[in-house]
């Protein structure tokens, strides 16, 4: 009795070995076109496109497997495999974000920073007033003499506000954007004049 395929997306001829072997055969046929001096011919383009399609499909369906030896020594096939793996990972990440997005928004509305893995605004304020630099998921707040500077992993830096005027509400806005996975876009340049 044949066993059912683990991934319902896979068809009978889409085992990792068969995809890699077919990709390698198409690649060999393409290389024959190169030897024959037919670079750019319709046959050359067809074999190259099919080899890339098969290698990318293998990478997509078997993203958690190591790259097969049949694809490893040909740069074009290895790149196609990596493209397939990348596409699969992006789709998985997007699907996970779609599932988590409502949960994140609910936790932000409730200001449940602990559940989001973020420090409480009061803790941040206390650390800044002590003169400590605060790191929040690769974003940081640095206290200076009487001001606080915001920075992120993209090397964007801006004045966050004055240390005396900094409030829990200001930090709530920052924590909300960080929880959503985006850089803080509401940097305010303010002064009390």
**Confidence class for position 193, pLDDT limits 50, 70, 90:** very low
CB atoms within 10 A of CB 109: 9
Share of the chain above pLDDT 90, in %: 29
Q: Where are the domains of the chain?
A: 16-102, 121-179
pTM of the model: 0.48
Mind listing the pLDDT tens digit for each residue in 78-108?
999 999 988 988 888 777 666 577 788 888 9
> How buried is 69 (Cβ within 10 angstroms: 0-12 exposed, 13-18 middle, 19+ buried)?
exposed
Question: Which strands make up the sheet holding 147-151, listed edge to edge?
Answer: 134-136, 139-143, 147-151, 157-162
Mind listing the pLDDT tens digit for each residue in 133-159?
888 877 888 898 888 888 876 667 777
Are 133 and 143 contacting, i.e. CB atoms less than 8 angstroms apart? Answer: yes
């Amino acid at each position: 009795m044949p066993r059912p395929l683990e991934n319902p997306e896979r068809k009978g001829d889409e085992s990792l070995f068969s995809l890699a072997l077919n990709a390698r055969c198409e690649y060999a046929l393409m290389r024959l076109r190169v030897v024959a001096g037919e670079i750019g011919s319709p046959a050359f383009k067809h074999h190259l496109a099919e080899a890339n399609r098969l290698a990318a499909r293998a990478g997509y369906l078997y993203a958690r497997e190591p790259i097969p030896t049949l694809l490893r020594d040909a740069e074009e096939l290895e790149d196609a495999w990596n493209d397939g793996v990348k596409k699969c990972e992006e789709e998985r990440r997007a699907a996970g974000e779609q599932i988590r997005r409502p949960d994140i928004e609910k936790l932000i509305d409730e200001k449940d920073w602990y559940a989001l893995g973020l420090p409480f605004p009061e803790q941040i304020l206390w650390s800044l007033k002590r003169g400590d630099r605060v790191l929040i998921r690769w974003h940081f707040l640095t206290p200076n003499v009487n001001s606080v500077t915001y920075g992120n992993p993209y090397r964007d830096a801006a004045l966050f506000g004055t240390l005396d005027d900094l409030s829990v509400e200001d930090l709530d806005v920052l924590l909300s954007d960080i929880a959503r996975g985006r850089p803080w876009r509401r940097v305010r340049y303010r002064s009390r004049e």
